[in-house]
Amino acid sequence: MSSKPDLRLDWCSHAAAKYAVEHWHYSGTMPAGKTVKIGVWEEGVFIGVVIFARGSNKHLGKPFGLSQTQCVELVRVAIKDHETPTSRILAISCRMLKGQSAGIRLLLSFADMGQGHIGTLYQAAGWTYTGTGTSDERSRPYRAPDRSVHHWRSVAGALSARGMASTIKAAISLGYVPMEKKLKHRYLMPLDPEMRKQIDPLAKPYPKRAGSIGSDAPGFQPGEGGADPTPALEGNHNA
Nearest to 124 by CA among 218, 26, 21: 218
Question: What pLDDT is stored for residue 31 in this prediction?
Answer: 84
- Splitting the chain (239 residues) into consecutive groups of 10 residues, what average pLDDT does each group show? 83 96 91 90 97 79 90 95 95 96 93 85 96 66 88 83 89 89 88 96 91 40 30 33
Inter-residue contact 90 to 126 (CB < 8 Å) = no
Domain borders along the chain are 1-133+186-230, 141-179
CATH number for the domain whose boundaries are 1-133+186-230: 3.40.630.30
Q: How far apart are CA 149 and CA 164, in angstroms?
A: 20
Position 175 scores a pLDDT of: 93
Report pLDDT for 32: 75
Are the beta carbons of 153 and 28 closer than 8 angstroms? Answer: no
Residue 221 and residue 79: Cα distance in Å, rounded?
7
